[in-house]
Each structure stands twice: as structure tokens, then as C-alpha cells.
Structure 1
């Protein structure tokens, strides 16, 4: 750990240059297209600034009601006091779809500024990487590769700084909590993750990995020679410490609303199961493949007779039971096993969850970056997952001016990912010929969806076809990556050029 930390500190100028460079790129993206999420967060600024706490989760003037946990509501409340200096009109609850130039500047810069936490978290994660000898150039080190894969992540760039969201500092909290667990600062890691859950509840997907690992590695203080737990070593004091952290953070977040008897209202906002199984367009997961097959069978009249009876009830309970089937993950092998379990949790929930947003693929891609510089097998899975997952985000940016931006940014990031990881594992063949052909197929798919289909006579009659093709094609690749990742959970020899400590 000391050697890897010294290596990161020795390359501090390089890391700072990377962080500064990506921040400048984010500034250049300020005039770009933004989605309805821009109005969502403007409305939340207005709600939290003007209304008493008791009305935050009841206000419904806009269709974009507050549906994040209380810590995020307080985050919006804090931002609103700065927003008032830029343009007070953005804080008017009745000013629906208000987007003055000053409002745009404030919203964009607020995302860029809060990314400072993400930058710090990446730095801490890089300190957990044991790379090559210190005599090598920084650009050959796994730490440098990892810093680029995280700081310049294509998906995070377009989702936060074009499409518009605040995922950067949230992923910063998650990565920082992961780093703290690798550094054996368990209580701090648990505290950060508990805070994260009360900022955005999507991170419940990976809560099982945290729970299993913390119980196994912190509450049990001794192991048998075969690696299994020694039950006599269980510490109730440590369990009490973990429980106290969770209770304290939960009370701080939910306490005021419990006092107002509003907990049921908050839960109904956070978990709107009435929205249906799928999001606005099919996220590239199991349900995209299910719906595609269901659609094809309905055309030939066999959906009710055969396929419809195969899965008779697609309910939240069914989706949760499937997505939680990954709880066999073996976290007792140490921090690296915990990280692998976390990624499997995230990807399994993406594959089978209820009303999954396409952007949730980043919950698996970003932590997978840490594994990618450790073993060639993980690097291969990362390349498959990140290339397919990032391409599946293309439909989020559907306006013409953003077309060259998203294509160029993804090409640059993808080319670097492949070249750097192939250089790191130069003696290994990362992808086989079938995997390579599949990824190459994304090029013709993009040409078909973006450049050919809009000029065909089927555009008006079948406008959903590009989304259909993108979701189904990407779902096949992500399903394959999920399968390979699940197989990698089986015990095997530890190999690779770098490892997480």
C-alpha cells in the first residue's frame, strides 16, 4: 500500500492534469443539449427553497415531483441559496421549464463543481492499486490507466454534463467508500455508504455486497486456516458500531419526516412501482430480450399460448427475487472479492430489476474499472461491458448537434481503453474472435439507426425501430458480460500485472 501510494503521489501532477483537462472539457459541453432532467432539478431547487419541509414530498405543481431521498433534497436546498444569486426566477415553483442562460450556467457549473468529490475518490482508489515498479513511466502504470478510465469515463461525461444529472459526486461517495474498505477503514466506508443510500436509493442494488462483506471482514475478527469464519471470533461490539452508524444516518435523514408522519409518502415517491416494468425505452437487459421475443411471438399469434404462460406475472416482487439471486457472492476472499460481489450485485439488478433506467449500467461499469487493471480476464469483461453499455446510452442524446460529440468522445475513450489494457496485458489475448465481431457490429448498427433509417419510408410508421435494435443488440452483449462475470466468481488462481490490495 505504501509503495502504491507513493507512486500515485509521485504522479500527482499527472493526475491533476487529467482532472483539470476533463473539467475543462465539461465546461465546453455547457451549451450542449440537456434533457428533462434539467427541469427536474430546477424544480427541486424551487420546491426546497420556497416550501416548508412538510410539503417537499407532496408538492406536485410539476410532473417532475421530488422522488430522491432526503439527503438529496437537502443538497438541492443548499444549492438553491447559491442559485438565488444567479437568477431568482429559477426558484419560482410556477416557472415550469424555465431555462434562462444564467440558470443553465448555474446548473452546469454546480455539476462540475461537485465532481471535485469524484476526483478525490478516484485519487484514493488509485492508491489502492499495486502496479509496476516505481522506475517505470507513469503512463505505463495501472494507476494512470485507472485514473483515465474513471475520470474520463464516457458514460459519466454524457449523462452528467450533456444529458444532465448529478451522478459524479454520488459515484464519488461510492468509490470513496470502496477505497476506505480496501484501506481497512471499515467504519468510515460504512458511514460513507450509508450517507450515499440517503442521497440516491438506486445504490440499494449493491447494499447486499456491503452488508455481507462488513459482517464477514469486520464483525468476525478471526478465520480458520481454510478461510472460513471462526464463529467464536464474532464481535457484537463491532456489529453494534455498524448498526449505530446505519441508525444514526437513517435518523438524520428520515427523522424529521417520521416526526411529520410522512414516511409512507416518501416511500411512495421513492418506489413508484406503478410506473411499469420498463423505463421510457428498453434498457438493454433481460427484459429487453423478453419483450423482443414477446413482440415477435405476438406477431405470429403465439405469445398468449406459449411465451405469455412461461412467465405469467412480471411484478416488482418477481423482479426483486430474480435480481437478488446473486446473494451467493463470495465476499470472504477479501476486498477484491467484495468489489467483484458489488459489481455482480449491480449488474444483476440492472439485468432483472423493475423499471430499470438505462443509465444504471454505470453502477457496474465504474467499479469494474478497478478490476480491469488487475487481471486480463477482468479486462476482457470490462471491455465488453463498457463498450456495449456506453453505446446503449447513445439514444439519450438524440439531437443532431450532439451526434458528432458522442461519437467522437466514445471513440476516443474506447480506443484508449482497448489500447491501454492490451498494453498492460500484452502477453494475453483479451477478446476472442466472436466477441470482437460482436463489438465491431456496433458500428454498422449505429450507421443503420442514425444515418440510414431516418431516410427510409418506415421512419414514420415504425419510429421505435432504432431503439428496439439498440436495446436488443446491447442487451445480448451485456447479458454475455454478466454471464462471464458470474462465472468469474468461481475460485481460481490469482494472476495479473496489478492487483487491488
Structure 2
């Protein structure tokens, strides 16, 4: 894996400038609107600081109970000791919805500071990803483009630094683990990913890709001439090393709660199936299309006749979509093939998962950035997925002052994504006419939802129409991207055995 522009010399200075620039932008967003997630994390600071460990996963004074794995709880505990210097009152469990100016400053800066890990992970990924042969200019180099697509990712900016969450350092752990696998530092990659799982369990979506790839690339030490596995080369010692890492990290995370006989309570908090199949704001996935069609068919009284076999069919589709890439992992595909499998797992889980949040689309968009600078087909899928996925996040910021901010930031990021990738793949077509028309349609959709609908007489009677239209329209694009990625690109993962001969 060749290092390039972003890794050293002038490129290193350019990367540092990009990282500093986006950090300053994050500081400018401190006064912006924040969601109920701000109170969620303030409450978790109070819980972990004020109560003994044995009560963390039972405390329910606030409706925003602790429902992340133990490592994240300890992360909040560590932050709470700094928080008390800013404003001790934020650590009072009874102070519900407390948001003093010092509290806001602390929580905003805590997200910005922990993003250092994300910046480092992007730097490591840029050293590993071999993109298309670059031109003479620094701005045409794949790693420079990749660094902007990751560091300045629009979705991550608004979700973490306006809406408020701590996704940056979590994605940093994931990207760093991917970089270590590209560098053939398999145990370190496995260690980082296992830690990540005990910070936020949504990354279980992509765990099968890690498991199969590590077994295939690390535990098998040799291949046959045709690219298939040589079973005699299987190393049980390496398998034991991987198992030890998983058990060791899990013991550190869950051990204290197992000793307290609280594992069932933690599981109940982490997997609250009582919340229902769909989130209040439908994520733009299969279930948004399903719900919309169900509503239409109920009006014409056809839903009972048509939907009888849909749920079993979709359950089967979910299993097939997640397992399909792993079948391809049985061949020698290398780190890029693993990355593609990871993206398919993430997007398949987003498409069919239980109670999926709209923000989970970032789990597919960010790693897809790594593929976008390599092949024109991947670049086209990336542009379709990231533009649609990012626009689907618009309803998260529904206040008037944030309207120009989100529109401007998305336009800047989208224009750069299209122009830079088009420059990188000068002679190749990234999108066909149908895909182009679909993406252009996001403009009229935004005008209808944000500028026209608020002044119609239907606003009070049907307030969720803009959410409905956004979810369904974006679901169509993301579903199309999923089909392209799953059924068009995956066959290319298998090694051409004719070439091996």
C-alpha cells in the first residue's frame, strides 16, 4: 500500500490545514441548535458521576436512561470529572434539561476534542488507500480528496456538532481498525474493533465482515494456486489469539456487571425491542417504502391481500443481504474486498434493521468514501449514496437559523464531492441520466418541504408530510444504491481464477 500526498511532506501540511480548518468550523457551530441528545449525554454524565456502578443501568429519573455499552459509560464517567470544573450543577441527576452556557461549552468542546482520534484515523487511512493514479496537482491526488471527504463529511458535521452526538471518535476507532487491517496488523485491528463494539453496539452490524475476513486472512496462512483456502494451513494458535482479544476486552467491559449479576439488565437496555420496528422519524430504508405502500394499499383496501407474505420475505432478504458478501470472503479478496463487505453489511442492516435511526446511514457513507477514490463505479455509488443519505438528515435540523447553515454546508460538500471525483475520473461517466435526474429532484423536494409546505393550509392538519416525503424519496435512492452495491459490485470481489492460472 503506497503512501501518498496526505501522508508526508507538503501533503502532511495540507492534511494538517484541513484538520485545523474543520476544527475551527466546529467551534463556530457551538451556539447552534442542539437536540434532545444533548440532554441524553448530560444525564449520562450525571448518572456515572453521582451514582455507584451498580446503579448505572437501573437509574431512571430521566427518560433518557443509559443504554450504551459499558465502555461508553466509563467514557462519560471520565468526562464527568472534567465537567465538574466547568459547572458542577450539570452533574446533578435532578437537574433535568439543564443547559447552562458553561455546560453547553463543555459538551460541545468535548465532542471537538475527542475528534482528534477521528483525525488521526483519517490520516492513517489516507496512507493505506491506493486510489486512481493522480495528476500533478496536489488537489487531484486521491488521498487529498479522501481526506476532505472524511474530515469535512457533511453528515458527521451536522449530527455531531449541531444535532449533538459523539460519533466522531467512534468512527475514528472503526477507520483506524480498517487501516490496521490494510497494514496487515490483524490483531491490532481486531483489538480496536472489539473495543468499538463495547463503546457502541450499533457496530455489531459490521461485525460479521470483520469475523469472516480475520478468519480468512489471518487464520489461514496459505492459499492454493486457484485462490481457494488451503485447510492444512489453518492456524489454531492465531484463532486462539483472536479469541483471547475478544474475551479479554469483553471481560474488561462486562466483567464488573456480570459480577453484579446485571448482564440481563444491560442487555435489556442495549436492545429495547419494545420501541417498535420503526423510529418516530422513518429512516429512509425498506421500511419507509413498506409503510408508505401499506398506507396507500390500506386506503384502497388491498393491504391484507398483498402484504401477507412480505414480512417473511424481507426477513429472508435481510439474512441473504448480510450473508451474501461473506460467501465472497471465502475467496482471497484482500483488504479492499473486506471493506466492500463491511459496507454491504452496514447498508443491508440499515435497509432492513429494527428501529433504525436515520443517522445510521453514516455507517455506510464514511467507509464508502475509502472506495470512492479507487474506481469510477464506486465513485458513482458513493455520490448517489452520500448525496441522498446526507439530504435525509435535513429534518434533524428543523429550526430556522440552521436552515441556511445546513443548505450551505451540504452544497459545498456535495459540489466538492462531484467536482473532485469527476476530475479524478476524467474520462469515465460516474452517473447515468436516471441517477442524475433523481439527484436533481432533491432540489424541488427541499423547496416543497421547507419553503412551500409551511405556508399551506395542510401544515397543522398534516405536519409530518415533509418527513414522509423526505423519507420515502430518499429511501428510493438508498435502496437503489444498495442494489447496485450488493448485486452489481459483489461479483467482482471473487478473484479471477483464470488469471491465477
Please give the range of the TM-score, normalised by the shorter of the 2 chains.
over 0.9
- Alpha-carbon contact 1:115-1:169 (below 8 Å) kept: yes
Structure 1 pair 202–500 and aligned structure 2 pair: CA distance change class (3 A): farther
Q: What is the Cα deviation at residue 8 of structure 1?
A: 3.9
SS in 1 for 2:452: helix
Q: What is the rounded CA distance, in whole Å, between the counterparts of 1:7 and 1:499 in structure 2?
A: 33
How big is each residue's C-alpha offset from its partner over 1:281-315, in whole Å with a ceiling of 9 and x where there is no partner? Answer: 11000000000000101111222233245437999
SS in 2 for 1:327: helix
Structure 1 pair 439–329 and aligned structure 2 pair: CA distance change class (3 A): farther
Structure 1 pair 293–417 and aligned structure 2 pair: CA distance change class (3 A): same
Structure 1 pair 183–394 and aligned structure 2 pair: CA distance change class (3 A): same
Structure 1 pair 101–233 and aligned structure 2 pair: CA distance change class (3 A): same
Q: What is the Cα deviation at residue 133 of structure 1?
A: 6.9
How big is each residue's C-alpha offset from its partner over 1:106-132, in whole Å with a ceiling of 9 and x where there is no partner? Answer: 000000000000000000000012357
TM-score, normalised with respect to structure 2: 0.95
Larger deviation, residues 35-44 vs 330-339? 330-339
Structure 1 pair 206–378 and aligned structure 2 pair: CA distance change class (3 A): same
Could you tell me which residue of structure 2 aligns to residue 412 of structure 1? Answer: 412
Two-structure CA RMSD over aligned residues (Å): 3.2
- Alpha-carbon contact 1:323-1:348 (below 8 Å) kept: no
Larger deviation, residues 300-309 vs 429-438? 300-309
Q: What is the Cα deviation at residue 467 of structure 1?
A: 0.5
Structure 1 pair 301–448 and aligned structure 2 pair: CA distance change class (3 A): same
How big is each residue's C-alpha offset from its partner over 1:128-178, in whole Å with a ceiling of 9 and x where there is no partner? Answer: 123577882321100000000000000000000000000000000000000
SS in 2 for 1:3: coil
- Alpha-carbon contact 1:375-1:497 (below 8 Å) kept: no
TM-score, normalised with respect to structure 1: 0.95
Could you tell me which residue of structure 2 aligns to residue 260 of structure 1? Answer: 260
Q: What is the Cα deviation at residue 464 of structure 1?
A: 1.1
Q: What is the Cα deviation at residue 397 of structure 1?
A: 0.3
- Alpha-carbon contact 1:277-1:314 (below 8 Å) kept: no
Q: What is the rounded CA distance, in whole Å, between the counterparts of 1:244 and 1:466 in structure 2?
A: 50
Q: What is the Cα deviation at residue 391 of structure 1?
A: 0.2
- Alpha-carbon contact 2:322-2:345 (below 8 Å) kept: no
Structure 1 pair 257–231 and aligned structure 2 pair: CA distance change class (3 A): same
Structure 1 pair 138–437 and aligned structure 2 pair: CA distance change class (3 A): same
Could you tell me which residue of structure 2 aligns to residue 300 of structure 1? Answer: 300
- Alpha-carbon contact 1:381-1:484 (below 8 Å) kept: yes
Q: What is the Cα deviation at residue 103 of structure 1?
A: 0.1
Structure 1 pair 382–3 and aligned structure 2 pair: CA distance change class (3 A): closer
- Alpha-carbon contact 1:130-1:500 (below 8 Å) kept: no
SS in 2 for 1:244: helix
- Alpha-carbon contact 1:8-1:143 (below 8 Å) kept: no
Unmatched 5+ residue regions in structure 2? none
Q: What is the rounded CA distance, in whole Å, between the counterparts of 1:477 and 1:500 in structure 2?
A: 37
- Alpha-carbon contact 1:213-1:332 (below 8 Å) kept: no
Unmatched 5+ residue regions in structure 1? none
- Alpha-carbon contact 1:71-1:253 (below 8 Å) kept: yes
Q: What is the rounded CA distance, in whole Å, between the counterparts of 2:264 and 2:314 in structure 1?
A: 24
SS in 1 for 2:256: helix
- Alpha-carbon contact 2:134-2:140 (below 8 Å) kept: no
- Alpha-carbon contact 1:142-1:498 (below 8 Å) kept: no
Could you tell me which residue of structure 1 aligns to residue 105 of structure 2? Answer: 105
- Alpha-carbon contact 1:331-1:337 (below 8 Å) kept: no
Structure 1 pair 119–500 and aligned structure 2 pair: CA distance change class (3 A): farther
- Alpha-carbon contact 1:130-1:499 (below 8 Å) kept: no
Q: What is the Cα deviation at residue 6 of structure 1?
A: 8.3
Structure 1 pair 331–422 and aligned structure 2 pair: CA distance change class (3 A): farther
Larger deviation, residues 180-189 vs 3-12? 3-12
- Alpha-carbon contact 2:6-2:12 (below 8 Å) kept: no
Q: What is the rounded CA distance, in whole Å, between the counterparts of 1:468 and 1:419 in structure 2?
A: 31
- Alpha-carbon contact 1:212-1:331 (below 8 Å) kept: no
Q: What is the rounded CA distance, in whole Å, between the counterparts of 2:231 and 2:417 in structure 1?
A: 44
- Alpha-carbon contact 2:387-2:439 (below 8 Å) kept: yes
- Alpha-carbon contact 2:43-2:91 (below 8 Å) kept: yes
Q: What is the rounded CA distance, in whole Å, between the counterparts of 1:415 and 1:257 in structure 2?
A: 49
Q: What is the rounded CA distance, in whole Å, between the counterparts of 1:380 and 1:76 in structure 2?
A: 39
How big is each residue's C-alpha offset from its partner over 1:403-428, in whole Å with a ceiling of 9 and x where there is no partner? Answer: 00000000000000000000000000
SS in 1 for 2:241: helix
Could you tell me which residue of structure 1 aligns to residue 86 of structure 2? Answer: 86
Q: What is the Cα deviation at residue 490 of structure 1?
A: 3.6
Q: What is the rounded CA distance, in whole Å, between the counterparts of 1:226 and 1:320 in structure 2?
A: 26
- Alpha-carbon contact 1:273-1:316 (below 8 Å) kept: no
Q: What is the rounded CA distance, in whole Å, between the counterparts of 2:5 and 2:236 in structure 1?
A: 33
Structure 1 pair 221–356 and aligned structure 2 pair: CA distance change class (3 A): same
Q: What is the rounded CA distance, in whole Å, between the counterparts of 2:294 and 2:74 in structure 1?
A: 43
Q: What is the rounded CA distance, in whole Å, between the counterparts of 1:112 and 1:306 in structure 2?
A: 49
How big is each residue's C-alpha offset from its partner over 1:437-470, in whole Å with a ceiling of 9 and x where there is no partner? Answer: 0000000000000000111011111111111100
Larger deviation, residues 199-208 vs 312-321? 312-321
Larger deviation, residues 357-366 vs 134-143? 134-143
Structure 1 pair 468–496 and aligned structure 2 pair: CA distance change class (3 A): farther
How big is each residue's C-alpha offset from its partner over 1:177-222, in whole Å with a ceiling of 9 and x where there is no partner? Answer: 0000000000000000000000000000000000000000000000
Q: What is the Cα deviation at residue 487 of structure 1?
A: 2.2
Q: What is the Cα deviation at residue 10 of structure 1?
A: 4.1
Structure 1 pair 359–331 and aligned structure 2 pair: CA distance change class (3 A): farther
Larger deviation, residues 487-496 vs 119-128? 487-496
- Alpha-carbon contact 1:384-1:481 (below 8 Å) kept: yes
